[in-house]
Structure 1
Amino acid sequence: MKDILIVGGGYVGMYTALRLQRKLRRPLKKGDVRITVIDPQSYMTYQPFLPEAAAGNVQPRHMVASLRRLLPKVRILNGMVTKVNHAAKRATFQPAEGEEREVGYDVIVMAAGSISRTLPIPGLTDVGIGFKSVAEAIALRNRVLSKIDLAESTEDPALRKKALTFVVVGAGFAGVEALAELEDMAKDATRYYRNIKPQDFHWVLVEASNRILPEVGPEMGRWTLEQLRERGIDVRMETRLNSAVGGHIELSDGTAFDAETLVWTAGVKPSQVVNATDLPIDDRGRIKATPRLNVEDTPDAFAAGDVAGVPDVTMPGEYCAPNAQHAVRQAKVLADNIVRHLEGDELKEYRHKYVGSVAGLGLHKGVANVYGVKLRGFPAWFMHRTYHLSRVPTLNRKVRVVVDWTLALLFKRETISLGEIEHPRDGFRAAVNS
């Protein structure tokens, strides 16, 4: 019996396990195989739908897929891998509750993904929120709507202005899509408020470089910039966040103002578990991988996705970008190479053809560059939805997402804040203490 341990249940981990589950229906040349996936969550999140979930276009439960339902023949352990001793082929597993224990394996797959890359900016950890999980997306939606409620209810001009000021740092896919969807939602919500109009909002996008959405190319990036500014969004290029203490935002261009909402999407870095392994690490903190997705100079170890530095064989000297497109494709090659490794066959290189990029900018708005074809507006928005729908795992989830979109077209968008779900015991505590 061979034990395969997959650290991480995201794109790479889930799709690798899913393909292995299918391919290992037949016996291998060298015996049976048992697969184990370790992840803090019991589900895989389809992250490209986070902006749509934040805007209320997709139900949160419809953008996640149950690992146990998708992987009935795989052992799922929920918790963290805190250490990997590959020399001894042992991983330290810390469940959500209880004592940690060691899990043995014969082959390990490092697919732990990434976390937000932050900087030592004063006040950032106190007022900032990331945008990498369902919880963060829904919390951000509730926060934006609750601040609109606050602005409607207060008579303090300074408090009102602060409540209606929203700052997003980072102009990659996550930042631009999150800001565009939330701005679109907030504008729709104003129809239900007597004293708030779309022009009362102050949306600020802060980007350290001189371009936004670099993934779709310079021309489409410039068009996106024009569109955002036409919508009244304050885009600050070549600007950095210097401080956010107490919600007082200070930018490197000398601008200062107050804001109660700060979203941080300025890049990612590999999961911290890579620092607790004896696997080779490169200067960017990624596990050194080969084009065959095995770990460099390390038998029985594989790595892919955001946690790995995978050379891009189509562009010598470059590495594969940390995005969903690569992760899903790498998982296919990775699973096949694990089977080849177990059977003693030669491994194949991960080689990809660039498809392009799509981004949603709110309802019926988007930008796309697919196979060299550049689209914007409604056609790009439609392509964005079609592409991501095709990548959502399981027919069940595809149908539910389509139903969500159909209802959103037929009926007005829900703009209700349910912020109390983040603190469900507050009401009970108040009753006890009264």
Structure 2
Amino acid sequence: MSRPKIVVVGGGFAGVECLHRLERRLAPPEADLTLVTPTDYQLYLPLLPHVAAGVLTPQSVAVSLRRRLRRTRLLPGGAIGVDTRAKVCVVRKTTGEIVDVPYDHLVLTAGSTTRTFDIPGLTEHALGMKTLAQAAYLRDHVIAQLDLAAVTQDPAEREARLRFVVVGGGYAGTETAACLQRLTTAAAKRYPRLDPSLIEWHLIDVAPKLLPELGDKLGAKAMRMLRRRGVLFSLGTSVASVEPTKITLTDGRVLATHTLIWTAGVAASPLVHTLSTDTMRGRLVTTAELTVPGVDAVLAAGDAAAVPDLAKGGDAITPPTAQHAQRQGRVLADNVVARLHGTPLKPYHHRDLGLVVDLGGKDAVSKPLGVELSGIPAQVVARGYHVMALPTVTARTRVLVNWALNAAAGDDFVRTGFQAGRAARLQDFELTDAYMTADQVEERHHDEPKNELAEHKKHKEHREQKEQQDG
């Protein structure tokens, strides 16, 4: 008898937490566990700005999946379509080969991609901060601008290379601007012919306030901290067009720059649109038990799912944060086990524990359990939270050692060149154009079943017949 096949899509907080719990709750004979993920690590996304700034090494925030998951099969690739009628997940392996992965229970934790808009030149010239490769590329790019500005004889080119623009006044954008501003300020001391006062960092957001989730008081404090460090703000405006050496804002201003960092929100993985089920704000609609209505044996959570927020009530859905994704992952595992054992599913209910924003150095704002903090107390809370949220002792140790080393010895501001020659477009890093359409998925599986699919169905029918005979 074949064991039930549990396939999890996405190696982020929700997916890995789900599998980690399933390995503990299910004995090996009870199920086959498979994780579809393009990388063999879980990225701790909240600390990505520290990687771009060189405060942490990439390995510090890349937690080995094989260290956490001991008997889950890792399938290196990305899910590009789901056929819920045939119970098949279509996967493009990292080699480019497309394979069908049959499932008995599918857990969709596909995460999110950078949200973009129909702005001329945006997807061709903007840099993102969503993946480890993007953080490494961005660090090299920023240091390269200092190198080139230090040797050019053209004042206009020097001005453009020393002007850095970040779009997005949420957590990702604010922390990215803050951490990289500290990087360029410290690095400028190593360039004797470069005037540090020429370096400009601009933070742009269409909202009228910075960090609105933290409230007016803490948002204003964060702005004051960054303004003291020279960061310029343009709130209530956005980008109208992007060119290789300049951007035009919606208020008519033109900023000469070679660096536009786009962090204006996230959108659910395009995978959710291959299921032909309901979505809310672009995310897959789920029940409070994390099941997907209208389809059999599919659960979803994390950034790709619109999970009802029972703690707030009404039509509220949980925000796409690591805090919710980790806890949803545990409920996912419990509900998969419940389905296997024929017991009731439980709803996801979690009250937000608070928010932290690390602005680098002694600057931070935090709101743990509703208590507003700023400065050093907020920084202690922020970094303490990150350390405890890291999933392994090894990762925590690496982060603590890196923070201590950076504080004591600083940075050498070298360019690694690992991403040299690579296209820097958002879709090149995030592969947003790799997904199938719902029609393509349908055409793939309902003409003639593939061998692996047919074999899976044969085993499943045999198992059901055996269960009926035993019953």
Question: Into which bin does the TM-score normalised by the smaller protein fall?
Answer: over 0.9
Shift of 1:229: 2.0
Shift of 1:54: 1.0
> 1:16 maps to what in 2?
18
Shift of 1:98: 4.8
Shift of 1:251: 0.5
Shift of 1:97: 1.5
Is 1:163 paired with 2:161? yes
Shift of 1:283: 4.1
- Which amino acid in structure 2 is aligned with residue 152 of structure 1? A
Distance 2:96 2:157 in 1: 45
- Which amino acid in structure 2 is aligned with residue 329 of structure 1? R
> 1:132 maps to what in 2?
130
> 2:41 maps to what in 1?
43
> 2:201 maps to what in 1?
203
Shift of 1:200: 1.1
Higher mean C-alpha displacement, 189-198 vs 382-391: 189-198
CA contact (8 A) 1:131 1:263 kept: yes
Distance 1:358 1:421 in 2: 31
Which consecutive segments of 4 or more residues in structure 1 shift more than 2 A? 195-198
Is 1:34 paired with 2:38? no
Distance 2:285 2:267 in 1: 14
Distance 1:249 1:153 in 2: 24
Distance 1:181 1:289 in 2: 36
- Which amino acid in structure 2 is aligned with residue 92 of structure 1? V
- Which amino acid in structure 1 is aligned with residue 23 of structure 2? Q
Alignment of 1:155-234 (within 5 A): 155-234=153-232
Higher mean C-alpha displacement, 259-268 vs 97-106: 97-106
Distance 1:337 1:218 in 2: 39
Higher mean C-alpha displacement, 223-232 vs 57-66: 223-232
| Correspondent of 2:377 among 365, 376, 379 | 379
CA contact (8 A) 1:127 1:247 kept: no
| Correspondent of 2:303 among 300, 303, 306 | 306
Shift of 1:218: 1.9
Distance 1:399 1:245 in 2: 42
Aligned length: 419
Higher RCO (Cα < 8 Å, 6 or more apart): 2
SS at match of 1:421: coil
CA contact (8 A) 2:280 2:306 kept: no
CA contact (8 A) 1:364 1:382 kept: no
Shift of 1:414: 2.6
Shift of 1:281: 2.4
> 1:319 maps to what in 2?
317
> 2:82 maps to what in 1?
84
Shift of 1:87: 1.4
| Correspondent of 1:422 among 403, 413, 419 | 419
> 2:263 maps to what in 1?
265
Alignment of 1:47-86 (within 5 A): 47-86=45-84
Distance 1:268 1:309 in 2: 13
- Which amino acid in structure 1 is aligned with residue 11 of structure 2? G
- Which amino acid in structure 1 is aligned with residue 220 of structure 2? R
| Correspondent of 1:254 among 252, 261, 267 | 252
CA contact (8 A) 2:225 2:363 kept: no
- Which amino acid in structure 1 is aligned with residue 15 of structure 2? G
Shift of 1:153: 1.0
> 1:429 maps to what in 2?
none
Q: Write the deviation string for residues 379-410 of structure 1: whole angstroms up to 9, x where unpaired.
A: 21121111001011111111111111111122
Distance 1:23 1:197 in 2: 60
Distance 1:300 1:276 in 2: 16
CA contact (8 A) 2:4 2:32 kept: yes
CA contact (8 A) 1:171 1:213 kept: yes
- Which amino acid in structure 1 is aligned with residue 200 of structure 2? H
> 1:393 maps to what in 2?
391
Is 1:340 paired with 2:342? no
Task: Return closer, same or farther for 1:15/1:124 CA change in 2, 3 Å cut-off.
Answer: same
Task: Return closer, same or farther for 1:187/1:277 CA change in 2, 3 Å cut-off.
Answer: same
Q: Write the deviation string for residues 14-67 of structure 1: whole angstroms up to 9, x where unpaired.
A: 111111111114x7xxx6111100011121100011011111111101111122
Shift of 1:294: 1.1
| Correspondent of 2:5 among 3, 6, 25 | 3
CA contact (8 A) 2:286 2:306 kept: yes
Task: Return closer, same or farther for 1:379/1:413 CA change in 2, 3 Å cut-off.
Answer: farther
Alignment of 1:270-309 (within 5 A): 270-278=268-276, 280-309=277-306
SS at match of 1:373: coil
* TM-score, normalised relative to structure 2: 0.86
Shift of 1:424: 7.5
Is 1:100 paired with 2:102? no
- Which amino acid in structure 1 is aligned with residue 307 of structure 2? V
Task: Return closer, same or farther for 1:98/1:177 CA change in 2, 3 Å cut-off.
Answer: closer
Distance 1:98 1:135 in 2: 19
- Which amino acid in structure 1 is aligned with residue 205 of structure 2? E
- Which amino acid in structure 1 is aligned with residue 74 of structure 2? I
- Which amino acid in structure 2 is aligned with residue 308 of structure 1? A
SS at match of 2:372: strand
> 1:110 maps to what in 2?
108
- Percent sequence identity is 38
> 2:367 maps to what in 1?
369
* TM-score, normalised relative to structure 1: 0.94
Distance 2:35 2:91 in 1: 11
- Which amino acid in structure 2 is aligned with residue 17 of structure 1? L
- Which amino acid in structure 2 is aligned with residue 48 of structure 1? P
CA contact (8 A) 2:41 2:65 kept: yes
Residue ranges of structure 1 left out of the alignment (5+ in a row): 426-434
Q: Write the deviation string for residues 212-243 of structure 1: whole angstroms up to 9, x where unpaired.
A: 11222221011112222222211101101001
- Which amino acid in structure 2 is aligned with residue 338 of structure 1? V
- Which amino acid in structure 2 is aligned with residue 21 of structure 1? E
- Which amino acid in structure 2 is aligned with residue 169 of structure 1? V
- Which amino acid in structure 2 is aligned with residue 74 of structure 1? T
Distance 2:347 2:287 in 1: 8
Shift of 1:154: 1.1
Distance 1:189 1:377 in 2: 24
